[in-house]
Amino acid sequence: MPRPKKQHLKQRKDGRYCCVYKGIQFMGATEDEALSRRDAFKQQEKEDAEKPMLVRDFALYWLPIAFPDIKPSTYRGHAIHMQKLVDVIGTEKLSDVTPSMIKQVYAEKYSGMSNSYIRAGKQLFCDLFDAAVADRYCRTNPAREKAAAPHRGKDPKEARFTPQHRKWIETLCTDHRAYPVVMAMLYAGLRPPEAKAMVIDRDVDFRNETITLREFAHVEGQKYAFTGDGKNAWAPRNIPLFPPLKQALEGKQGYLISSAHGERVTIQTFKTAWESYVFCMETAINGCQKRWYGKTREHKKILAEGGTLPPWIDFDITPYTLRKAYCRWIRDNGVELKTAIRWMGHSDAKMILKIYDEASDDRSAAEAEKIKSLFHMQTDMQTAYEQPSNS
């Protein structure tokens, strides 16, 4: 068997020898030294190529390059999902991950979570393994297999907003410091980050009856940062100032919602203000604080006489319940879909039709009356046509 032909290198002017591999120069005082350095690099390259890529290593590499420009709070949310995956199958090779392993992640780390949160994790895992397939670390995406489908999570328990809720909000606790922001979410459909950044003097035009959204609150660490970047490109917008909200804001200045000292709201102060408002509303609705329910003189008298107490009514309304109520309200009153999209700050009708716009009983009844009127009109026309002429 013939010996492999030895490669000879040309000596440089400085007396050293050089060989090039993949654009990298390897120097040596002798030919053998330069070639041995190149061969050592080739060997290391071969070992790296043969070394299996683990899930945890690829996740650590992929996450920053997949989401380079998102908000820190959103990135932290993605990182939490990735940590759940790594905790369960982080030491597995990407090529060895099976749909059952992905299913195990959902079973161990997503038990009791909401359905939307589980779906967010699934989407992230699918994107991760799509990238792994593209980089040829695995042949198929186990997260997209039917056998890896997650269980259905809990649907959020949200109170149904009724006309009674609207009446309570308009008439009770109107002197509470959270009242203006509650009315703004109910009658302008503001997202909480939009309401937290709103300044009445700057953003509300009482003469032209419009609201202009210019600034938005973003969570950064334990506080809010206020910038002109909204949730999407359609967040900065103009919204009509309807009479109920105009009446609630007239004579007020400064921030729509502020701290107890009149400063810009923080995460904790908004939470405290909302809890205080709910407490105030429940007390006003039920006639006493919850801790005194059944212990007041009136309640004790009712019980002593063999009567039953009226059920305690919880004011379990959230900020996004108010935004949904606004969308339903404008749609019930005949606002076309494209206008509703613009006022809500959405890019298309998908979110409105899927989440926000739910046909109320009043709208359903009104549409039914239209169809009934149509039939009555057709019947009257048919009757008039069939009647013989008096002539």
> What is the maximum span of the chain, computed from C-alpha positions, in angstroms?
126
How far is CA 232 from each of CA 194, 235, 342, rounded to the nearest angstrom? 12, 5, 12
Number of structural domains the chain divides into: 2
Poorest-pLDDT segment among 24-28, 99-103, 258-262: 258-262
pLDDT tens-digit series, residues 160-212: 889 999 999 999 999 999 999 999 999 999 999 999 999 999 999 999 999 99
Q: Identify whether residues 144 and 191 lie together within a single domain.
A: no
Select from 30, 175, 137, 196 the least CA-distant residue to 128: 137
H or E element, residue 212: strand 210-212
Per the CB < 8 A criterion, the answer to whether 248 and 179 are in contact is yes
Range of the domain at 89: 55-148
pLDDT at position 391 over 50: no
Q: Rounded distance, CA 236 to CA 138, Å?
A: 43
H or E element, residue 220: strand 216-220
Q: Rounded distance, CA 197 to CA 304, Å?
A: 52
Residue 157, judged by CB atoms within 10 A of its CB (0-12, 13-18, 19+), counts as exposed
Q: How confident is residue 2, by pLDDT bands cut at 50, 70 and 90?
A: low
Which pLDDT score is estimated for 89? 95
Mutual angle of helices 99-109 and 115-134, in 10-degree steps: 150
For residue 218, tell me if it sits in a domain.
Answer: yes
Both tokens of residue 207?
């003469």
Q: Identify whether residues 208 and 244 lie together within a single domain.
A: yes
Residues 6+ apart with CB under 8 A from 359: 367
Q: Identify whether residues 175 and 236 lie together within a single domain.
A: yes
Q: Rounded distance, CA 34 to CA 38, Å?
A: 6
Average pLDDT of span 229-239: 89
Q: Rounded distance, CA 232 to CA 245, Å?
A: 25
Which pLDDT score is estimated for 263? 87
Domain boundary among 101, 123, 148: 148
How far is CA 82 from each of CA 123, 130, 192, 252, rounded to the nearest angstrom? 11, 15, 27, 46
Q: Identify whether residues 128 and 181 lie together within a single domain.
A: no
Q: Where do we find the tokens 């900065």?
A: 236
Average pLDDT of span 375-385: 70
Q: Say what percent of the chain tops pLDDT 70.
A: 91
Q: Write the CATH number for 115.
A: 1.10.150.130
pLDDT at position 362 over 80: no
Per the CB < 8 A criterion, the answer to whether 76 and 218 are in contact is no
Q: Identify whether residues 135 and 192 lie together within a single domain.
A: no
How far is CA 343 from each of CA 42, 115, 289, rounded to the nearest angstrom? 62, 28, 38
How far is CA 384 from each of CA 75, 162, 254, 341, 374, rounded to the nearest angstrom? 70, 44, 65, 44, 15
Q: Identify whether residues 271 and 194 lie together within a single domain.
A: yes
Residue 352 main-chain phi, psi, to 5 deg: -65, -45
pLDDT tens-digit series, residues 105-150: 999 999 989 888 999 999 999 999 999 999 888 899 999 999 999 9
Which pLDDT score is estimated for 359? 66
For residue 11, tell me if it sits in a domain.
Answer: no
Which pLDDT score is estimated for 50? 61
Which pLDDT score is estimated for 232? 83
For residue 196, tell me if it sits in a domain.
Answer: yes
Which pLDDT score is estimated for 229? 86
Phi-psi region of 328 (alpha: psi -120 to 50; beta: other; left: phi over 0): alpha
Both tokens of residue 324?
């949904």
Per the CB < 8 A criterion, the answer to whether 335 and 322 are in contact is no
Phi-psi region of 336 (alpha: psi -120 to 50; beta: other; left: phi over 0): beta
Select from 222, 220, 203, 201 the least CA-distant residue to 211: 203
pLDDT at position 236 over 90: yes
Phi-psi region of 22 (alpha: psi -120 to 50; beta: other; left: phi over 0): left
Q: Dihedral (C-alpha) 89, 91, 96, 102: value to the nearest 10 degrees?
A: 10
pLDDT tens-digit series, residues 266-309: 999 999 999 999 999 999 999 999 999 999 999 999 999 999 99
Give 225's strand partners.
Answer: 218
Sign of the CA dihedral running 207, 213, 214, 216: positive
Q: Identify whether residues 124 and 176 lie together within a single domain.
A: no
Q: Identify whether residues 179 and 277 lie together within a single domain.
A: yes
Q: Identify whether residues 172 and 245 lie together within a single domain.
A: yes
Q: Identify whether residues 167 and 283 lie together within a single domain.
A: yes
Mutual angle of helices 99-109 and 72-89, in 10-degree steps: 110
